[in-house]
Amino acid sequence: MSELRNYEVTFIAEPNFDDERVNSLVGKYTEFIEKNGGTVEKVERMGKKRLAYAIEKRQYGYYIYTEVKMPGEAVAPLKRWFALSEDVFRHLAVRMTDRDVRLKAVTTEHYRKEMDRRNAATRPGAREGGFREGGREFREGGRPERRDD
């Protein structure tokens, strides 16, 4: 088999799926990937979400996001598998270069830190009553406060 590459595969299953049916679908999916020489690294159930536009009269869908390592030759069979599947009505497979993976990780980490910083800045400030003073006090490492215009 050729080189394994990183892919992000998201698919949307019928909205009325319960945990059991989702488990069974994810199981079949994992089996299919492994049969084609890949591995499923991560599965994230995003759950039932409202669709931005109706797809074959459906207003909702059950979103499942996965990160996969597989050879490029497995993509075409995977897409065919989705197309033939009764359970999945939409899918998206995105190739992630090593650079994409790295930048995504950096940015996710960045968002997390930013959230922590904001929480740290607002919570104690609110307790002391003085918003401005609270914000100043909890500024991190002398970095200038971001001004909202």
Partner 1 sequence: MAYQRKRICRFCEAGVQYIDYRDEKRVSRFLTERGKIIPRRVSGTCAKHQRMLSSAIKRARILSLLPFVSDNPA
Nearer to partner 1, 55 or 126 (CB): 55
Range 84-143, binding partner 1 (CB under 8 A) = 90, 92, 94, 100, 103-104, 106-107, 110, 114
- Binding residue count for partner 1, defined by CB under 8 A: 21
10 scored as a contact of partner 1 (CB under 8 A)? yes
The rounded distance, in Å, linking the Cα atoms of 82 and 54 is 19
58 φ/ψ angles, rounded to the nearest 5 degrees: -85, 140
Under rule CB under 8 A, residue 16 binds partner 1: no
Instruction: Report the site for partner 1 in 17-76 (rule: CB under 8 A).
Output: 46, 49, 51-53, 55, 61, 63, 65
Least Å distance, CB 19 to partner 1, is: 21
Handedness of CA 16, 18, 24, 29 (dihedral sign): positive
Decide: 7 and 78 in contact? Cβ < 8 Å: no
**What's the token pair of residue 140?**
């991190």
Give the residue ranges of DSSP H helices in the chain. Answer: 19-35, 75-84, 98-128, 131-137
Query: Whole-number minimum distance, CB 53 to partner 1, in Å?
Result: 5
Distance CA 105, CA 43 (A): 16
* Residue 35 vs 80, nearer CB to partner 1: 80
Is residue 83 within the footprint of partner 1 (CB under 8 A)? no
Q: Which two tokens stand for residue 36?
A: 């084609």
Which residues of the chain form contacts with partner 1 (CB under 8 A)? 10, 12, 46, 49, 51-53, 55, 61, 63, 65, 90, 92, 94, 100, 103-104, 106-107, 110, 114
